[in-house]
Amino acid sequence: MLRYLKKYWFFALLAPVFMIGEVSMDLLQPRLMSIIVDEGVLGLSNHHIGDLDLVITTGLKMVGFVALGGFFGVMSGVFANLCGQNYGNDVRKDAFGRIMSLSFEQTDRFTTGSLITRVTNDVTQLQNLVTQCIRNFVRTFMLFAGGILSLVMLDLSFGAVVACALPLVILCAVFFLAKANPKFYILQDKLDRVNNVMQENVSGSRVVKAYVREGYERDRFETANDSLVGTQLDVLLLFSYMTPIMNMILNAAVVSVIKIGGIQVAAGAVTPGSVMAAITYISQILNAVMRMTMIFQTVSRGVASGRRIKEVLHCEPAIEDGGFSGTVSCRGQVEFRNVSFAYPDAEDQKVLDGISFTVAPGETFAIMGSTGCGKSSLVNLIPRFYDVTDGQVLVDDVDVREYPLRELRGKVAMALQKSEIFSDTIEENIRWGDPDASEEAVRQAARTAQAAEFIDQKEEGIKTRVTQGGTSLSGGQKQRIAIGRAVLKNAEILIFDDTTSALDLKTEARLYEALKRNCPNTTKIIIAQRIASVRDADRIAVLENGRIAACGSHEELLRTSAVYRDIYQSQMNG
């Protein structure tokens, strides 16, 4: 992750330099103060006669240093932010870009939720780490080291106090951090659980009510809540000891310094002014240690986040562009040659097993089969959402793995099983199919998809905004928008992955008719459950347990395939 800093090395260097400036000014103050007291007021080296001029000149000097210190502080902040935030921005953009190049197999493995946290939360943590390190770490370390140095320079005996107090403070900090750190992970986990129960109940309220499980859910929530509150309380109570104990050590150190100072002053070894300075320094040192514990928290979280982001950044896209750049001999032909497929996380369970078929350009090819038999997996292989385990998928006589992805996916328009709708206008959602399409083209696509009717009923028509996830639309409406999007793309191959399941038969029939009229040369691959959806297809493939059990036209299949007849019976006979 360090290489991202390279670009901002100048800022990364300037920020600590200015910080050193600021801290130096801070460290000078007590020294000047002790000069005012000892020489100006008490006149120790001048037979106890004070010197007002010295007081004033030193005072003015102090103001100058203070102003300078403030300026340095602000500048250090400017550079630290320029560095940290630009760094975070670069990492964020790269991580997002990388996610946008991963294959589904990889995003599946990360899970969507985890990817989202990595781009948002984890990047922020990492950014904090950088800003903290170049600014606060330097500041704290300087205050710490400078404090010790100044203190020892005042008088060695004060150093003894530090030598005693410091290990105690460090021990205390390490103890609390070690005890609390594992709890933070548990806490996050428990918080997730409370939120999950809540989320489930808000979105699944109908089921909860229908099964009269409000009481059960309340108990479930209270258990999760109790457990969260309990852990949170544990942590808070643990930390409630930390402040007073640290304070006590610090204050005991101050008392010791005064005591030792008293003895030393009596012996004539130090001046009262240096006792006062010593008190300031010792507060500074111990304070620095306590701040350090906070910084270590940020660092340890930042490092953990950095690791998570690195996993994304180092994830090489499993599906890469092929080098094919020649011309193809036909448009819209799909061929499966002895294809087998298993999902990468379950390699011993073959989803598809030795599938071979060819779909000719312009043909309508339907796929049927029982729940979970691999229909979606099959069509996912065409635009290379996944790669085959064995065999070959060819589009226009070229292996899909040889195409550049963009070119391959440009040939295929697919309406997915789960219609994904984005929070934008209906028009823009359809325009995803072709960003350059005119409004009229979008409307035409909506008409073909049988979406025009319900769109026109909306007050703002095609300009109606859709809520995130399309919750303001019904299932059938979402499907039709997704179909409109695919139609607008005007690709060689059109794939519907059970995208008409929520349409009534009439609408569906009109859709297919419109498709036939408006996209006659497009190869259509249609997954469906209803015989009515597929019966007009040129050929129908019946998938069973990952193999093609039968393939042919509706009439052929009725004659030759028992499975197809079975499906037909289940739908047609009364």
d(CA 234, CA 230): 6
31 lines the binding site for another protein (CB under 8 A): no
Binding another protein by CB under 8 A: which of 189, 262, 439, 463?
Answer: 262
545 lines the binding site for another protein (CB under 8 A): no
**Taking the CA of residue 225 as centre, how many other CA atoms within 13 Å lie in the half-sphere pointing to its CB?**
8
| 118 three-state secondary structure | helix
Tokens standing for residue 23: 């801290």
Binding another protein by CB under 8 A: which of 167, 204, 358, 439?
Answer: 204
Question: What part of residues 227-256 is at the interface with another protein (CB under 8 A)?
Answer: 229, 232-233, 235-237, 239-248, 250-252, 254-255
**Going by DSSP bridges, is the β-strand pair 493-497/547-552 parallel, antiparallel, or unpaired?**
unpaired
Nearer to another protein, 10 or 211 (CB): 211
- DSSP of 382-420: TTTSS--SEEEEEETTEEGGGS-HHHHHHHEEEE-SS--
d(CA 475, CA 472): 10
Binding another protein by CB under 8 A: which of 200, 390, 402, 556?
Answer: 200
505 lines the binding site for another protein (CB under 8 A): yes
Mark residues 82-111: x for contact with another protein by CB under 8 A, - for none: x--xx-xx--xx--xx-xxx--x--x----
37 lines the binding site for another protein (CB under 8 A): yes
Question: What part of residues 48-77 is at the interface with another protein (CB under 8 A)?
Answer: 50, 52, 55-56, 58-59, 62-63, 66-67, 69-74, 77
Mark residues 470-499: x for contact with another protein by CB under 8 A, - for none: ----xxxx----x--x---x--------x-
Binding another protein by CB under 8 A: which of 144, 336, 432, 496?
Answer: 432
Nearer to another protein, 112 or 560 (CB): 112
Residue ranges of alpha helices (H) inside 36-122 are 52-99, 104-110, 112-117
Q: How far is the CB of 350 from another protein (least distance, A)?
A: 13
Binding another protein by CB under 8 A: which of 307, 463, 516, 559?
Answer: 516
Terminal-to-terminal C-alpha distance of the chain: 67
Question: What part of residues 306-335 is at the interface with another protein (CB under 8 A)?
Answer: none
513 lines the binding site for another protein (CB under 8 A): yes
Amino acid, res. 362: G
Question: What part of residues 264-303 is at the interface with another protein (CB under 8 A)?
Answer: 265-266, 272-273, 275-276, 279-280, 283, 286-287, 290-291, 294, 297-298, 301
Q: Which residues touch 168 (CB under 8 Å, ≥6 apart)? A: 249
d(CA 244, CA 465): 56
Looking at the DSSP assignment, which residues form a beta bridge with residue 334? 359, 395
Q: Which stretch binds another protein (CB under 8 A): 151-159, 208-216, 352-360, 517-525?
A: 208-216
Q: In whole angstroms, what separates CA 314 from the centre of its chain? A: 15
Q: How far is the CB of 75 from another protein (least distance, A)?
A: 9
Q: How far is the CB of 515 from another protein (least distance, A)?
A: 9
d(CA 352, CA 342): 7
d(CA 534, CA 555): 12
Q: Which residues touch 206 (CB under 8 Å, ≥6 apart)? A: none
**Taking the CA of residue 205 as centre, how many other CA atoms within 13 Å lie in the half-sphere pointing to its CB?**
4
Question: What part of residues 159-198 is at the interface with another protein (CB under 8 A)?
Answer: 180, 184, 187-188, 194-196, 198
Residue of 530, 527, 522 whose CA lies nearest to 541: 527
Nearer to another protein, 251 or 356 (CB): 251
152 lines the binding site for another protein (CB under 8 A): no
Nearer to another protein, 396 or 508 (CB): 508
